[in-house]
């Protein structure tokens, strides 16, 4: 008997059809992969399974019993555990507290912490998920936090474990370790659903693959029978070709960081050079200083020591205003929280970096709305931003179109330096190809690009040189042909390419 | 049950709905207060009729309503400007008194100028006084991350006690026996009457002018853009180069200045001298004015008039029927909550799962 | 008499406990709300309403403890109103809080005027009398200072460890603290975030109202306009000063009350030279000072002021 049966599930958000008549089943002891590009409806389906959303049509059965919809409580009681993509952990509380939340009746007067602690430690032993129950979440690394998420999901003896994009924040080695854990779990008779858009990982760990496209199932294959190209084609609906960088000779220096440090251990004597016609890729697990590096170059944070040379002039005291004025295009990591102001219109967001200059304003005091809107209309056309016009509310645009808006704002002034931080996170294949093509075009034109990304495939395809951030230190940079993905993975985990200490000498650096 | 409901933002809010929302909220508030009126044993219709008459029934009533609206417009603008930037200035009451203090200091004999110079000078002094009162909370917020809600609130009490001290001591009018009040504003500084034998004074024109100016700034200038941007999403605003601290300080000075000007209208227009009961809570009422107007400067004119009508009407009504005047405050508070909810319902759709 | 001498009097310590009692209730109440992620700016109005409700119950012939319960219930009702607007509909906590304060205050004054249309001096009720704890109140100095208080003061002191236990040692307390740190985490464990937050606001508001009731039923024996006089706002500062911890809240309330009691006595001594208004200012100035000291390092509950909207595309 199938452990899980999803029958005819349909879900709409406004006019968007997120899930269209989905029917699939999960067998005992099986690892099922749910594959699809961003926006295909995978997370929505799993959220319905876990009770965060309620389906408009269809039902779900767990071991033959209908699952009451819309209630995470019911899902947990039915033996379903979910490891969310964005961790549902409270930083200021301990591991123990995060895991035992909700496991005892809210009406009870006593809390059995000892039992909780024992249970966590025994689970940790059984599944190889080492963790200290009394540590505060804020003190844990990303990999450790994921372990807590998994323990949380398994605590109630979950028989079905759902993992939503679990490897997005892991090094290749940590990913292997996670897959080991999953194999151990299914050996004990549990079942796993893993949501991902990463083909090689799905091929390595799953038994069966269900492919979703635009909310509907377009194919179900046994993993043994599948390969990268066929899966990619199913996923996107056409042959997938991501743009690759053609070789180019680098030009003049556009950016140089000289032993830049930022308070505490955020950045530690970072040395970096970016030249025209060149893409420097920065790899690393989230939280190792990439955000701080981006902030320092964007002018949002001031280095505590060291200095920055921009276009050969320096040392420069950077502010967001001066950086933009100097001709730097920036694509921020979080487009919704930092990149645009959702409540404002498209033209207001397109003008946000230039609001004190023409055409957006006259004399830096009065807004020139007609001129700003006209320019916005041009940019909307040129960068294919799908919206109702310059006066549309930005928050209503899709993620891909918001990213195109940000691209338009960052690239339209033909900047000589571009800072792109996770530029294609959460985008579908079409939007990804568009963004990459635009970046490569800028590189051809003569821009130097600093690309910060957690996606090693993107890195290898676009970058000329690669460096790795670990605990605030930036490694030496290597030509992309000189380094392999597993080696990058080791560096992301803190092991240097040469066995031994972290080298900081100048001789190895990019020139 | 609660689990089955969810809120989805609407794609587009029609202008009609946006305008109707506050009216619907007010209607609900009137309905709820009629329950209170019923409980007092009086007739609802008679009570509301008396209220309407008290506010608009005679020429004198209208002038009273308009003159009560004057400080409400200014404190309403003060709250609207600050809240747009998500700067929670709850200290308009204290800033009002600071403005009145400044006007008293300048206008009771320190300088004697012809009215055409004296009156603008008084307003300038009042604006500076009000702005200065907000400077401390702003600096505390920018430098030390101290929440401005509590500091502006507590400052109200401190300022009022300070005014009390001044009125019993250094500022006390030597001509009067016993009663603590300051010397009167000199004739050159008194705001001229707009209507004979009424208390309606030039302050109304200043207030309306201020509303227009605030609207112009918020809609057509870079400053207005920056204030709105910071209020919606400070992180994104900082990213695009807007200087957050400078914007907040500018907003605070404008907000405090407007509240300070309200103090001037009362001291130089209505009363003629500074007393401790100069403001029966205009600063706090300004928040209700701003919310009812959905933070729109021109809307503030209408909602200030509405609140003023309620206060003036209720005063008159309580003489005719046996209903405590506090019904006005209850009505205002209920309206504020009802409008906040009705506006939200026009922007979001309720979805049942 | 100088400061040391004042500190050596029984009267000072007894006054400290008395002044601290409403602050303890109200600070704990606000603390519970904020721990769950909700800033409750209705505190001043709810305290006023609690004061009026307690007084009214006794004035109309009820017993004292019934009055306390009634005040708590009324406070809880306003908390429910606040929660519906802020937790359920996700509206601005600042705006709704101010609205609730305006509503609760004006409603209490309205009802008071309805009951007593023409009173010039507020009539007194028979309030809680001092209860001398057997044996303990006979201890020299300490007995007179600490064990000769009204029952509500003893309740205030007893309630502190109860709140501490509730927050840190029970499952529901953990849920409340989680709701203030990461509501998505609460939802993911199958608990209704809205119910937890709403419940916390209702309970917290009940506490606030009891704090207000102390003023009419233990301290002043009567209700008059403006009697809360900013205590609610001071308690918001005290919550930050206490780093959202119940034990520190008790300490903060006592410290603050002590300084207030000191100020009253100092006024009596030197009133000739320093105008009394400056002494009255001290509580408010001290609150601001307390906030200055604590704000830079304050670890706010991470989800404070962030509404939780269920069903939004995660």
CA distance C124 to B136: 42
The string of pLDDT tens digits covering residues A215-253 is 899 999 998 888 888 888 888 887 777 888 888 888 898
CB B215 within 8 A of CB B298: yes
Q: Read off the pLDDT band of A105 (50, 70, 90).
A: confident
CA distance A57 to A8: 7
Query: What are C196's strand-pairing partners?
Result: none
Q: Which residue of B has its CA nearest to C100?
A: B333
| Residue A511 scores a pLDDT above 50 | no
Please give the share of chain B, as a percent, with pLDDT higher than 90: 68
Which residues, 6+ apart, have CB-to-CB distance to C8 below 8 Å?
none
Q: Which residue of C has its CA nearest to A82?
A: C188
- For residues A114-123, average pLDDT: 90
CB A328 within 8 A of CB A419: yes
- What are the C-alpha distances in Å from A157 to residues A83, A96, A124, A182? 14, 16, 13, 15
CB B11 within 8 A of CB B290: no
B147 min Cα distance to partner chain A (Å): 21
CA distance C95 to B90: 10
**Which residue of A73, A97, A107 is in closest CB contact with C190?**
A73
- Contact residues, C window 208-247, toward B, CB-based 8 Å cutoff: 229-230, 233-234, 236-237, 240
Interstrand relation of C148-149 and C131-132 (parallel, antiparallel or unpaired): antiparallel
The tally of CA atoms less than 13 A away on the side-chain side of residue C264 is 12
Please give the share of chain A, as a percent, with pLDDT higher than 70: 97
- For residues A261-280, average pLDDT: 91
Question: Residue A341 sits in which domain range?
Answer: 335-412
Per-residue pLDDT, A500: 35
Q: Is A46 on the interface with C (CB under 8 A)?
A: no
Per-residue pLDDT, B352: 67
Per-residue pLDDT, B245: 93
Considering the domain architecture, whether residues A230 and A289 belong to the same structural domain is answered as: no
CA distance A403 to C60: 66
Whether the complex's predicted ipTM is more than 0.85 is answered with yes
**Which residue of B226, B239, B353 is in closest CB contact with A320?**
B239
Closest CA to B300 of B76, B65, B66, B92: B76
Residues B144, C91: C-beta atoms closer than 8 Å: no
- Split into its structural domains, chain A has a count of 3
The secondary structure of B304-322 as a DSSP string is HHHHHHHHHHHHHHHHHSS
CA distance C173 to C179: 10
- For residues B313-317, average pLDDT: 92
Domain's final residue, options A350, A383, A412: A412
- What are the C-alpha distances in Å from A237 to residues A37, A98, A196, A232, A427? 11, 41, 17, 8, 16
* Phi-psi category of residue A500: left, alpha or beta, with phi > 0 → left and psi -120 to 50 → alpha: left
The string of pLDDT tens digits covering residues A193-203 is 999 888 888 89
Considering the domain architecture, whether residues A464 and A502 belong to the same structural domain is answered as: yes
Q: Read off the pLDDT band of B353 (50, 70, 90).
A: low
Considering the domain architecture, whether residues A503 and A426 belong to the same structural domain is answered as: yes
| Residue B279 scores a pLDDT above 80 | yes
Q: Read off the pLDDT band of A281 (50, 70, 90).
A: very high
Residues A90, C185: C-beta atoms closer than 8 Å: yes
A102 min Cα distance to partner chain B (Å): 17
**Which residue of B3, B150, B326 is in closest CB contact with C106?**
B326
CA distance A196 to A205: 11
- The CATH number assigned to the domain with range C3-116+144-295 reads 1.10.3470
Q: Which residue of B has its CA nearest to C193?
A: B3
The secondary structure of chain C as a DSSP string is --HHHHHT-HHHHHHHHHHHHHHHHHHHHHHHHHHTT---TTHHHHHHHHHHHHHHHHHTT--HHHHHHHHHHHHHHHHHHHHIIIIIS---HHHHHHHHHHHHHHHHHHHHHHHSTT-SSPPP---PPPEE-TTGGGSTTHHHHHSEE-HHHHHHHHHHHHHHHHHHHSHHHHHHHHHHH-HHHHHHTT--HHHHHHHHHHHHHHHHHHHHHHIIIIISSS--TT-STTHHHHHHHHHHHTTT-HHHHHHHHHHHHHHHHHHHHHHHHHTTTS-HHHHHHHHHHHHHHHHHHHHTT----TTTT----TTS--
Q: Read off the pLDDT band of A90 (50, 70, 90).
A: very high
More confident residue, A507 or B326: B326
Residues A13, B8: C-beta atoms closer than 8 Å: yes
CA distance C133 to B212: 66
Residues B4, A69: C-beta atoms closer than 8 Å: no
Residues on chain A touching B225 (C-beta within 8 angstroms): 348, 355, 367
- Contact residues, A window 110-149, toward C, CB-based 8 Å cutoff: 110-111
Closest CA to B239 of A286, A369, A329, A368: A329
CA distance A409 to A403: 10
The verdict on whether omega for the bond into residue A315 sits within 30 degrees of 0, i.e. cis, is yes
**Which residue of C102, C284, C311 is in closest CB contact with B329?**
C102
Per-residue pLDDT, C270: 65
**Which residue of A101, A104, A107 is in closest CB contact with C186?**
A101
| Residue A502 scores a pLDDT above 70 | no
Q: Which chains reach chain A with 3 or more Cβ–Cβ distances below 8 angstroms?
A: B, C
Secondary structure class of B285 (helix, strand, coil): helix
Q: Is C286 on the interface with B (CB under 8 A)?
A: no
Residues of chain A contacting B, Cβ within 8 Å: 13-14, 53-54, 69-71, 298, 300, 319-321, 324, 330, 332, 337-344, 348, 352-353, 355-356, 361, 364-367, 395-396
Closest CA to B323 of B69, B51, B27, B31: B51
Residues C288, B90: C-beta atoms closer than 8 Å: no
Q: Is A434 on the interface with C (CB under 8 A)?
A: no
Q: Read off the pLDDT band of B4 (50, 70, 90).
A: low
Residues B353, A70: C-beta atoms closer than 8 Å: yes
Residues A88, C313: C-beta atoms closer than 8 Å: no
Tokens coding B108: 């009771």
Q: Read off the pLDDT band of C204 (50, 70, 90).
A: very high
Go through chain A and tell me how many residues it has: 511
Domain's final residue, options A215, A236, A257: A236
Interstrand relation of A417-421 and A65-66 (parallel, antiparallel or unpaired): unpaired
| Residue A506 scores a pLDDT above 80 | no
Q: Which residue of B has its CA nearest to A335?
A: B236
pTM of the predicted model, to two decimals? 0.91
Q: Is C190 on the interface with A (CB under 8 A)?
A: yes
The secondary structure of A412-473 as a DSSP string is TT--SEEEEESTTTT--HHHHHHHHHHHHHHHHHT-EEEEE-S-HHHHHHH-SEEEEEETTE
Angle among Cα C158, C159, C165 to the nearest 5 degrees reads 110
The string of pLDDT tens digits covering residues B31-44 is 999 999 998 888 88
C44 min Cα distance to partner chain A (Å): 30
C207 min Cα distance to partner chain A (Å): 20
Place of tokens 């209507």: B195
Per-residue pLDDT, A503: 42
Q: Which chains reach chain C with 3 or more Cβ–Cβ distances below 8 angstroms?
A: A, B
A63 burial (CB, 10 Å; 0-12 / 13-18 / 19+) is: middle
List phi, psi (to 5°) of B273.
Answer: -155, 165
Residues on chain C touching A97 (C-beta within 8 angstroms): 174, 177-178
DSSP state of B266: I
CA distance C75 to C46: 6
CB B159 within 8 A of CB B141: no
Considering the domain architecture, whether residues A19 and A157 belong to the same structural domain is answered as: yes
Considering the domain architecture, whether residues A69 and A194 belong to the same structural domain is answered as: yes
| Residue A507 scores a pLDDT above 70 | no
| Residue C134 scores a pLDDT above 80 | no
The domain that holds A123 is classified in CATH as 3.40.50.300
List phi, psi (to 5°) of B234.
Answer: -65, -35
Domain's final residue, options A198, A217, A236: A236
Residues on chain A touching B235 (C-beta within 8 angstroms): 337-338
Lowest mean pLDDT among A282-286, B249-253, C135-139: C135-139
Size of interface A-C (CB pairs under 8 A): 89
**Which residue of B11, B236, B243 is in closest CB contact with A341?**
B236
Lowest mean pLDDT among A262-271, B308-317, C153-162: A262-271
CA distance A492 to A471: 9
- For residues C174-189, average pLDDT: 92
Find which of A46, A102, A108 to mutate to test the C interface (most C CBs within 10 Å of its CB).
A102
Considering the domain architecture, whether residues A30 and A106 belong to the same structural domain is answered as: yes
- For residues A18-29, average pLDDT: 91
Residues C105, B158: C-beta atoms closer than 8 Å: no
C91 min Cα distance to partner chain B (Å): 8
CA distance A11 to C163: 43
B14 burial (CB, 10 Å; 0-12 / 13-18 / 19+) is: exposed
Place of tokens 């208390």: B199
Domain boundaries, chain C: 3-116+144-295
Tokens coding C157: 């002191």
CB C55 within 8 A of CB C216: yes
Q: Which residue of B has its CA nearest to A298?
A: B239
CA distance A18 to A214: 7
CB A160 within 8 A of CB A83: no
- Contact residues, B window 147-206, toward C, CB-based 8 Å cutoff: 147, 149-151, 153-155, 157-158, 161-162, 164-165, 168-169
Residues B222, A298: C-beta atoms closer than 8 Å: no
C56 min Cα distance to partner chain A (Å): 33
| Residue B28 scores a pLDDT above 90 | yes
Residues C184, A86: C-beta atoms closer than 8 Å: yes
Domains of chain B: 25-352 (1.10.3470)
Helix axes B44-56, B297-320, angle to 10 degrees: 120
The string of pLDDT tens digits covering residues A73-85 is 899 999 999 998 8
- For residues B157-177, average pLDDT: 86
Q: Kindly list the strands in the beta sheet with A208-213, ordered across the sheet, starting from the edge strand earlier in the chain.
A: A80-83, A160-164, A191-196, A31-35, A208-213, A216-222
Per-residue pLDDT, C146: 83
Q: Read off the pLDDT band of C149 (50, 70, 90).
A: confident
Which residues, 6+ apart, have CB-to-CB distance to C163 below 8 Å?
C28, C31, C32, C246
C243 min Cα distance to partner chain A (Å): 13
A315 min Cα distance to partner chain B (Å): 20
| Residue C148 scores a pLDDT above 50 | yes
Size of interface B-C (CB pairs under 8 A): 143
Q: Read off the pLDDT band of C1 (50, 70, 90).
A: low
More confident residue, A493 or A254: A254
Residues B233, A342: C-beta atoms closer than 8 Å: yes
CB A442 within 8 A of CB A386: no
Residues C240, B147: C-beta atoms closer than 8 Å: yes
Residues of chain B contacting A, Cβ within 8 Å: 3-4, 8-9, 11, 220-226, 228-229, 232-233, 235-243, 353
Residues on chain C touching B138 (C-beta within 8 angstroms): none
Considering the domain architecture, whether residues A32 and A140 belong to the same structural domain is answered as: yes
Residues C190, A43: C-beta atoms closer than 8 Å: no
CA distance C177 to C197: 10
C157 min Cα distance to partner chain A (Å): 21
Helix axes B115-144, B244-264, angle to 10 degrees: 140
In angstroms, what is the C-alpha Rg of chain A?
Answer: 24
Place of tokens 């009067």: B176
């Amino acid at each position: 008997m199938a452990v899980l049966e999803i029958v005819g599930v349909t879900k709409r958000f406004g006019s968007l059809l997120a899930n269209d008549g989905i029917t699939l089943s999960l067998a005992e002891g099986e690892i099922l992969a749910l594959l699809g590009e961003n926006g295909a409806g995978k997370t929505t389906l799993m959220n319905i399974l876990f009770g965060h959303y309620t389906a408009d049509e269809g039902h779900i059965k767990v071991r033959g019993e209908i699952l009451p919809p819309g209630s995470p409580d019911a899902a947990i009681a039915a033996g379903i555990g979910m490891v969310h993509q964005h961790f549902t952990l409270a930083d200021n509380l301990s591991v123990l507290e995060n895991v035992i939340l909700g496991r005892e009746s809210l009406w009870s007067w006593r809390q059995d912490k000892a039992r909780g602690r024992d249970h966590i430690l025994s689970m940790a032993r059984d599944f190889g998920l080492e963790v200290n129950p009394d540590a505060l979440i804020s003190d844990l690394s990303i990999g450790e936090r994921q372990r807590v998420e998994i323990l949380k999901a398994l605590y109630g003896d979950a028989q079905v474990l759902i993992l939503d994009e679990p490897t997005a924040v892991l090094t290749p080695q940590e990913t292997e370790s996670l897959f080991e854990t999953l194999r151990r779990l299914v050996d004990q008779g549990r079942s796993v659903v893993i949501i991902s858009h990463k083909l090689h990982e799905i091929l390595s760990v799953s038994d069966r693959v269900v492919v979703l496209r635009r909310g509907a199932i377009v194919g179900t294959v046994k993993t043994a029978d599948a390969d990268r190209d066929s899966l990619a084609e199913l996923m996107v609906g056409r042959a997938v070709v991501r743009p690759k960088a053609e070789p180019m000779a680098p030009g003049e220096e556009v950016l140089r960081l000289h032993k830049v440090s930022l308070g505490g251990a955020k950045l530690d004597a970072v040395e970096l050079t970016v030249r025209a016609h060149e893409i420097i890729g920065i790899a690393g697990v989230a939280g190792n200083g990439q955000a701080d590096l981006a902030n320092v170059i964007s002018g949002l944070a001031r280095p505590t020591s060291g200095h920055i040379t921009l276009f050969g002039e320096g040392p420069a005291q950077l502010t967001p205003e001066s950086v933009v004025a100097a001709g730097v295009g920036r694509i921020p990591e979080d487009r919704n929280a930092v990149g645009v102001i959702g409540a404002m219109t498209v033209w207001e967001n397109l003008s946000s970096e230039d609001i004190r200059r023409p055409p957006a304003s006259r004399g830096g005091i009065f807004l020139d709305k007609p001129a700003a809107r006209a320019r916005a209309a041009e940019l909307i056309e040129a960068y294919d931003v799908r919206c109702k016009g310059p006066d549309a509310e930005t928050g209503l645009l899709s993620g891909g179109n918001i990213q195109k808006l940000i691209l338009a704002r960052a690239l339209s002034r033909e900047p000589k330096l571009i800072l792109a931080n996770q530029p294609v996170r959460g985008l579908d294949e079409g939007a990804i190809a568009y963004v990459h093509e635009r970046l490569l075009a800028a590189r051809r034109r003569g821009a130097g690009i600093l690309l910060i990304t957690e996606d090693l495939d993107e890195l290898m395809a676009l970058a000329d040189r690669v460096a790795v951030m670990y605990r605030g230190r930036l490694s030496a940079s290597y030509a992309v042909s000189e380094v392999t993905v597993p080696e990058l993975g080791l560096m992301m985990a803190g092991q240097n390419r040469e066995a031994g200490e972290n080298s900081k000498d100048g001789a190895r650096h990019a020139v | 049950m609660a689990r089955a409901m969810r809120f989805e933002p609407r794609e587009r809010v029609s202008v009609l709905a946006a305008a109707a929302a506050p009216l619907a909220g007010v209607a609900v508030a009137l309905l709820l207060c009629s329950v209170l009126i019923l409980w007092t044993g009086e007739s609802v219709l008679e009570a509301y009729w008396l209220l309407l008459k008290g506010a608009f029934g005679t020429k004198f009533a209208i002038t009273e309503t308009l003159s009560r609206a004057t400080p409400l417009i200014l404190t309403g603008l003060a709250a609207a400007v600050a809240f747009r930037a998500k700067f929670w200035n709850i200290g308009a009451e204290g800033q009002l008194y600071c403005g009145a203090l400044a006007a008293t200091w300048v206008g009771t004999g320190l300088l004697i100028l012809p009215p055409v110079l004296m009156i603008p000078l008084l307003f300038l002094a009042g604006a500076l006084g009000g702005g200065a009162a907000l400077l401390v909370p702003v600096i505390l917020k920018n430098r030390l991350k101290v929440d401005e809600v509590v500091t502006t609130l507590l400052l109200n009490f401190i300022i009022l006690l300070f005014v009390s001290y001044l009125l019993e001591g250094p500022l006390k009018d030597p001509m009067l026996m016993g009663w603590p009040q300051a010397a009167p504003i000199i004739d050159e500084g008194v705001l001229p009457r707009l209507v004979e034998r009424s208390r309606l004074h030039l302050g109304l024109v200043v207030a309306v002018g201020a509303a227009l100016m605030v609207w112009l700034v918020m809609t057509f200038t870079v400053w207005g853009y920056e204030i709105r941007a910071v209020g919606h999403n400070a992180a994104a605003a900082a990213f695009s180069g807007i200087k957050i601290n400078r914007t907040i300080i500018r907003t605070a000075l404008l907000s405090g200045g407007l509240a300070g000007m309200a103090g001037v209208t009362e001291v130089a227009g209505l009363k003629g001298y500074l007393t401790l009961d100069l403001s029966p809570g205009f600063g706090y009422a300004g928040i209700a004015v701003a919310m009812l107007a959905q933070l729109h400067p021109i809307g503030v004119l209408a909602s200030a008039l509405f609140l003023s009508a309620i206060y003036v009407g209720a005063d008159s009504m309580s003489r005719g029927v046996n209903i405590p005047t506090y019904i006005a405050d209850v009505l205002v508070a209920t309206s504020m909550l009802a409008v906040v909810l009705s506006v939200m319902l026009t922007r979001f759709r309720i979805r049942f799962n | 008499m100088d400061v040391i001498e004042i500190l050596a009097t029984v009267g000072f310590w007894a006054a400290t406990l008395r002044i601290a009692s409403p602050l303890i209730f109200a600070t704990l109440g606000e603390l519970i709300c904020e721990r769950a992620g909700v800033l409750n700016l209705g505190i001043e109005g709810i305290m006023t309403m609690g004061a009026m409700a307690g007084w009214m119950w006794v004035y109309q012939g009820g017993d004292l403890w019934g009055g306390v319960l009634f005040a708590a219930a009324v406070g809880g009702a306003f908390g429910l109103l606040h929660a519906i607007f802020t937790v359920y509909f996700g509206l601005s906590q600042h705006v709704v809080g101010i609205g609730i304060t305006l509503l609760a205050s004006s409603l209490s004054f309205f009802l008071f005027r309805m009951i007593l249309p023409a009173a010039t001096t507020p009539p007194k009720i028979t309030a809680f009398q001092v209860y001398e704890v057997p044996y303990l109140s006979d201890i020299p100095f300490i007995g007179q200072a600490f064990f000769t208080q009204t029952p509500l003061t003893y309740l205030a002191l007893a309630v502190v460890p109860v709140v501490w236990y509730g927050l840190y040692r029970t499952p529901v307390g953990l849920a409340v603290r989680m709701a203030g740190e990461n509501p998505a985490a609460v939802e993911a464990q199958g608990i209704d975030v809205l119910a937890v937050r709403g419940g916390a606001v209702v309970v917290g508001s009940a506490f606030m109202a009891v704090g207000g009731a102390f003023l009419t039923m233990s301290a002043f024996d009567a209700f008059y306009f403006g009697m809360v006089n900013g205590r609610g706002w001071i308690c918001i500062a005290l919550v930050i000063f206490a780093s959202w911890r119940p034990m520190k809240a008790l300490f903060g309330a006592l410290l603050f009350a002590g300084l207030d009691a000191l100020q009253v006595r100092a006024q009596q001594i030197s009133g000739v030279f320093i105008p009394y208004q400056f002494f009255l200012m001290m509580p408010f100035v001290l609150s601001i000072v307390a906030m200055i000291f604590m704000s830079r390092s304050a670890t706010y509950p991470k989800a404070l002021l962030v509404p939780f909207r269920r069903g939004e595309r995660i």
